[in-house]
Amino acid sequence: MNHLPDNYLTLNSEQTRILCDPILTDDTDLGEHDYIILTHIDFDTLDLLDNYVGSKPIYLSFELFKLIQKLVRVDLLEPVQANLKILPYNYSVKLGGIQMAAFKNDDGQFGSFTLIARGSHSTIGYCDSFYSHGNHKKRIKKWKKAFREKQLDTLILGSKIAPISEQKNILSENGMQEMLLKFITKNPADQPLTALLSPFDPERLYRYDKTAKQNQRPIVWDKNYLQLLESFYPFAEFFSAKNLPTTAQSIIVQVEQSQQLKHMNTFLDPALLHPNAVNIAGLIYQKHLCALTLAELNEFVSYIDPGQVIMKEDRSLAQDHSIPQKWLRSLELTI
C-alpha cells in the first residue's frame, strides 16, 4: 500500500503544483505550491483557513465562499486571512498549466463541488464525497455524466463514500427531519427542550425550523444562528429571545455549546460539525451521510469507467470503511 501520509491530492504539471483539500499538520508543511483548492467544508478545511500563513490563492465555490463570509460576520468562525478566490461552476478555468472545471455537488454540507482537471498528459476527476440521500440529486447526476463523457484517466475519491464494514442505516435529509419530529413527540409539551445544530448547512437549519413550527414546538434561535438564517432567508420569520412565539405551548431552545446542555433533553443534529460542539476530537456524525453500499460503489465506478481509481483515507472518520486495497495509491499525480 502506497499513499501519502498527509493524505491529500496534489496535481502537478510542468509548471504548476495544485493542492486539493490539503491537511495542515504540526510536523509536515504543505511544501511548494502555486494554488490550493478546497472542494468542501470539514475540520481540515476549517483548520487550514485558520492556520494557513501563505499568500497563494485558495479557490473554493461561490456557495462555500458565501457561507464562510456569513459565518465570520456572525462570529461563528474566526476571521479568515487567507487569499480566497472563487472557482466558478461549469466553466473551464486555467490555473497555470492545468485546466480546471468545477461542478456543484451535495455532500451533506453546504458548498461542495467536484473537479475535472486536465493537463497535457491526462485528465482526472476528483470527488471527496457525495450524498446520495440529499436534497440535490440532480447535481450529482450532472457531474457524473460530465465525468463519464470526459473518459477520465484517473478517478480520485474520498473514503467517506466507501462502504462501512458494519451495516448501518444511512440517514437522509428527510430522515433527519423525522428524527426531530420523533424528538418532539416523545417529550411532554411542558418539558424544556434544547437543540445542538450544525451551522454548516443553512438549508437544513431552515428545514428544522419549518418542521419544529409545523409541530407546535418552534425553535428559538441563538442570535448568531438567527443572523445566519436571516442572511440566507431574509423573507422568512425566525424566533429569538426578542420575539418569542406567543401561541406555542412549548419551544426548543437552540444552543451553541455542549456545556449549555446540562439536565436538558437535547436534539443532536446528526451532521454536527461545529468545532466546539460536543467533542473537539474530530468530525461528529451520529449516522453516516455519504457511504455507499458495495453494489452502489461498483455501479458508480462502472458508470464513470475511468482508467484507474484512487481512494484517499479521510483521517477524521470514526467509522470503519472497507476500502479496496488496490485503490490505495499515491495521491501525487502528474497530469
139: phi then psi, degrees, rounded to nearest 5: -60, -45
Alpha-carbon distance of 222 to 311, in angstroms, equals 40
For residue 303, give every residue at least 6 positions away whose Cβ sits within 8 Å of its Cβ, in sequence order, or none: 144, 148
In DSSP terms, 18 is beta-bridged to 11, 35
Alpha-carbon distance of 213 to 268, in angstroms, equals 18
Tens of each residue's pLDDT in the chain, 335 residues: 344 445 789 999 988 999 999 988 766 678 889 999 999 998 788 888 988 888 899 999 999 999 999 999 998 888 998 999 999 999 899 999 899 999 999 998 899 999 999 998 999 999 999 988 888 989 999 999 999 999 999 999 998 888 887 666 677 889 899 999 999 999 888 787 899 888 889 999 999 999 999 998 999 999 999 999 999 999 999 999 888 887 777 889 998 765 555 556 888 887 765 444 444 333 444 456 788 888 999 999 999 999 999 998 776 555 577 888 888 888 888 88
**Listed residue (93, 38, 45, 128) closest to 314, CA to CA:** 128
Alpha-carbon distance of 332 to 335, in angstroms, equals 10
Alpha-carbon distance of 156 to 144, in angstroms, equals 13
Q: Tell me, what amino acid is at 302?
A: S
| Three cell numbers, residue 185 | 413527540
User: Around Cβ 181, how many Cβ atoms within 10 Å?
Assistant: 15
- Please give the model's pTM, rounded to 2 decimal places: 0.89
CA 65 to chain centre: 13
| Three cell numbers, residue 327 | 485503490
Strands (E), 202-299: 219-220, 252-255, 265-268
What domains can you pick out in the chain, each with its CATH number?
2-165+290-315 (3.60.15.10), 173-284 (3.40.50.10710)
For residue 87, give every residue at least 6 positions away whose Cβ sits within 8 Å of its Cβ, in sequence order, or none: 37, 59, 60, 61, 93, 100, 102, 113
Question: 49: part of which helix (H) or strand (E)?
Answer: helix 43-51
